[in-house]
Amino acid sequence: MPKSHSDIGLIGLAVMGQNLALNIADHGFQISVYNRTTEKTETFVAENPATPGGLVGAKTLEEFVQSLAKPRKMIILVQAGAPTDAVIDSLVPLLEKNDIIIDGGNAKWTDTIRREKALREKGLRFIGSGVSGGEIGARFGPALMPGGDPAAYKEIEPVWNAIAAKVDGKTGRPILGATAGKPVSGGVPCSTYIGPDGAGHYVKMIHNGIEYGDMQMICEAYDLMRGLLGMKAEEIGQVFAEWNRGALDSYLIEITADILQQKDPTNKKKALVDVILDTAGQKGTGKWTSVNALDMGVPAPTVAEAVFARCLSAIKDERVAASKILKGPAKKKYTGAKKALIQAIHDALYCSKICSYAQGFQLMREAQKEYKWTLDFGSIAQIWRGGCIIRAVFLQKITEAYGRNPQLANLLLDPYFNKTVKAAQENWRKVVSLAVQYGVPAPTFGSALSYYDGYRSARLPANLLQGQRDYFGAHTYERVDQPRGKFFHVDWPENPRPQIAMK
């Protein structure tokens, strides 16, 4: 017997919306659905007649709103930006005080802050929830990063906990994860309240930025095996499959192994990856992460390099033309031990990954100061263990690191990560040097290593830089032999050049 009013509603029945609605209905919640194009709603409901909770199709927004139990809870899953605002604007006149709108799209966190405030002023409650894991995650267990009104979150928490991916509470290992393609039950949900207003969408953005870095690092490892060792896709795929049984065990390594071993469906003699055009697209979350890092003055070069690598890949015609003019080192095969070099590439990937995550967590630490959030970094790493694109065994080490020290200034300072990088850095340096010598671009490996070397330097060449700034712009400098906050300037055009202590 259908209930007179649905537990929750969902607007936007494209790939994410349909899958999330089915996941919710599978967990026994009755869900009303609405889509701008009504035929999509009708087809969707007709094709899924027997879910445990039940789907209720609505032809109009009015009908949709009326079908929901009060206080109404409705998820929006449409394109981020103007379409999300358009849907919110048409909903608002139909809603009553305390109703809850949940934006599950990839909204920019600043939009979520703005929307939460505007809706709060109208007596409505707003949750901005990151949803990660693509369509399979949405269907069988995504990682969820909800932020916004805490009381409103409490009301949607049973749904969020039910539909999220699950991990083992002790080991952090995913239970029947999204890759298993089955609904998930038992274990700890990969969902936790992140913080007020835009905190959930901010953390989702960092997740995506880290994802950009992970993907680019994997591509660099592949390119180095190709460029230095002349390995073919299938063999490289086998290396990734092997790596997936160790410290790098993760969804992205797993799918990389699979992709590299896939034959071209139109010519079985070739590897599919060899016929895929080398131009990468992007939807903007990596760029947002990098712009935010620049805005806040947080060093996060590895994600930025990953974004730039995609930009460089996109100018294919220009690169093809340049390849005929610009010369690098003569092509030669690496003659050292192959097995040892593969291990070195593994270590370079692992160390670079540690630096990239360290930067992502630094960003969140700074953002929480800027926006007055209190983020639980251990829990954030834990909810990324299942369901989402960056899910990895490695994340458990981050949860443990923040468990040891919730105030950890930088992941690199945690004893486990410190020890790991110490043991692997010789290999990391060797790989970056070889990449330079052989002319194989490895921007994230190289930038992560520079970040590591910069972060561990008690003294950087910024003394000279500040001297330059003082020379041409009278920007002043502090002295190593004087207290911090005391500024000096040299009157450079004068002879002799007097030093002036600034007030």
Chain contacts with ligand NBP (rule: CB under 6 A): 11-17, 35-37, 40, 77-80, 83, 86-87, 105-106, 131, 134-135
Q: How far is the CB of 37 from ligand NBP (least distance, A)?
A: 3
Report the distance separating Cα 467 and Cα 472, nearest Å.
Answer: 9
Coil, strand, or helix at residue 245? Answer: coil
Q: How far is the CB of 81 from ligand NBP (least distance, A)?
A: 8
Q: How far is the CB of 105 from ligand NBP (least distance, A)?
A: 3
Identity of the residue, 53 or 130, whose beta carbon is nearer to ligand NBP in the bound complex: 130
Report the distance separating Cα 231 and Cα 223, nearest Å.
Answer: 9
Q: How far is the CB of 96 from ligand NBP (least distance, A)?
A: 21
Q: Is 400 within 8 Å of 170 (Cβ atoms)?
A: no
Identity of the residue, 138 or 393, whose beta carbon is nearer to ligand NBP in the bound complex: 138
Identity of the residue, 88 or 398, whose beta carbon is nearer to ligand NBP in the bound complex: 88
Identity of the residue, 135 or 235, whose beta carbon is nearer to ligand NBP in the bound complex: 135
* Backbone φ and ψ of 418, nearest 5°: -60, -50
Identity of the residue, 77 or 236, whose beta carbon is nearer to ligand NBP in the bound complex: 77
289 token code pair: 């992460």
Catalytically annotated residue among 73, 108, 211, 353: 211
The amino acid that residue 307 corresponds to is: V
Report the distance separating Cα 283 and Cα 388, nearest Å.
Answer: 17
Identity of the residue, 67 or 106, whose beta carbon is nearer to ligand NBP in the bound complex: 106
Cβ–Cβ contacts within 10 Å for residue 340, how many? Answer: 11
Q: How far is the CB of 21 from ligand NBP (least distance, A)?
A: 11
Identity of the residue, 250 or 362, whose beta carbon is nearer to ligand NBP in the bound complex: 250
Nearest to 204 by CA among 303, 74, 104: 104
Q: Is 125 within 8 Å of 97 (Cβ atoms)?
A: no
336 token code pair: 């050292």
For ligand NBP, the nearest residue by Cβ is 105
Q: How far is the CB of 74 from ligand NBP (least distance, A)?
A: 11
Nearest to 108 by CA among 289, 252, 369: 289
In sequence order, the β-bridge partners of residue 490 are: 499
Q: How far is the CB of 392 from ligand NBP (least distance, A)?
A: 18
DSSP single-letter state for residue 413: G
Q: Is 490 within 8 Å of 474 (Cβ atoms)?
A: no
DSSP string computed for 474-495: ---B--TTS-TT--EEE-TTSS
Distances 141 to 80, 191, 226 between C-alpha atoms, Å:
21, 10, 35
DSSP single-letter state for residue 342: H
Pick left, alpha or beta for residue 172 (phi over 0 → left; psi -120 to 50 → alpha; otherwise beta): left
Identity of the residue, 132 or 396, whose beta carbon is nearer to ligand NBP in the bound complex: 132
Coil, strand, or helix at residue 314? Answer: helix
- CB proximity list for 6: less than 8 A, separation 6 or greater: 29, 30, 31, 32, 56, 67, 68, 69
Report the distance separating Cα 220 and Cα 503, nearest Å.
Answer: 51
Please indicate whether residue 40 is annotated as part of the active site. no
Nearest to 380 by CA among 371, 366, 372, 390: 390
Catalytically annotated residue among 73, 204, 353, 397: 204
Q: How far is the CB of 59 from ligand NBP (least distance, A)?
A: 12
Identity of the residue, 36 or 120, whose beta carbon is nearer to ligand NBP in the bound complex: 36
Identity of the residue, 17 or 57, whose beta carbon is nearer to ligand NBP in the bound complex: 17
In sequence order, the β-bridge partners of residue 32 are: 9, 56
260 token code pair: 């590299």
Please indicate whether residue 242 is annotated as part of the active site. no
Gyration radius from the chain CA atoms: 26
Return the H-helix or E-strand segment holding 357.
helix 338-371
User: Which residues are part of the catalytic machinery?
Assistant: 204, 211
